[in-house]
Every structure is written in C-alpha cells, then in structure tokens.
Amino acid sequence: MERKETPVLEILVQTDKAGTVELDSEIGHVKMIPFSGTVNSRLFTGIVEPCGVDTQITNQNEVRHMSARYMLTGKDHTGNDCHIYVENNAWFTDGARPKPFRSVPTFITDSPVLAPYLHRNQFVGEGLRDEQGLWIRFYELADKA
C-alpha cells in the first residue's frame, strides 16, 4: 500500500547505549535498547518518555522482530495536554535491516481530538538514521483509487 507524503508524527530517538542489555541462547538473541526522544509534527509536539524500549529478538532462522513500545507526552494540535502510547513492530529476514526500514505502528491516545484519527490503525512507520540520530516517521496510508 502507498503512503501519503507528509508524516503525521516525526520522532527523533536518543538511545541509551549504556542501558542496553542483551542475551544469547541456543534459540536466538535478545537485545533491549532503552530510549527517549522528541516529537514535532502537525498533530502533536512533545517528548518520548525515557521509559521507551526497543526489544529486538533474532531467532535461530535469522528472522529479527523489533518491537518498540513507548509513551509520548505533550500537546495535541489544539494545545491540550495529552499522551500517545506507541507500539511499533517490524520484521526482517537474514538479520538484515533495510534502510529505511518499514514498520507497523499502533497508537492509543487520551486526546479526544486525536483519538478518532490515530485509533484507525491506517499507518505505516519508517525508520532512518542520519547525522542527528534515528528518525521514526509515521505516515497515513493512502486510499487506493
């Protein structure tokens, strides 16, 4: 499915490398990366609470599942305080991560103006690293004509 051009949310992630934990076993590898960040977009402006974690599990077949879960705190586009919970999932084969990588986000919000839009699950995520850090951008899926 195609995505619209302008991101609905744009997040700059700051990872906590010192807080990263890993484990290896005969059935796979687990890596948990804590992070925080900032959010600027037309819908919402705020922060990623420092309790966010990206859990990456690579199984014995070299399939990697990344699941990032985090809470955004800030203001919706009407200026009201709110939160947005994000669960963002992606899968890669052969241990590889495409650049940019694509993901499937789910949003839960307490904002009465954002809820009807964000609760529709009609979004795709994209992650790309540059000189500033890791950018996670969420786009609305475009309707097929």
The confidence score (pLDDT) of residue 3 equals 73
% pLDDT > 70, the chain: 95
Beta strands in 20-59 (DSSP E): 21-25, 28-40, 44-59
| pLDDT tens per residue, range 47-86 | 999 999 999 999 998 899 999 999 999 999 999 999 999 9
Number of domains in the chain: 1
Q: Which of 4-8, 39-43, 44-48 has the lowest mean pLDDT?
A: 4-8
Structural domain contains residue 109: yes
Rounded-to-integer distance, Cα 3 and Cα 7, Å = 9
Q: What is the pTM of this model?
A: 0.92
Structural domain contains residue 4: no
Mean pLDDT for the chain?
93
Structural domain contains residue 94: yes
H or E element in which residue 16 lies: none
Total residues belonging to the chain? 145
Do residues 53 and 70 lie in contact, with contact meaning Cβ atoms separated by under 8 Å?
Answer: yes
User: Domain range for residue 56?
Assistant: 9-140
The confidence score (pLDDT) of residue 2 equals 77
Query: Which amino acid, 29?
Result: H
Structural domain contains residue 15: yes
CATH code for the domain in which residue 28 is found: 2.40.160.20
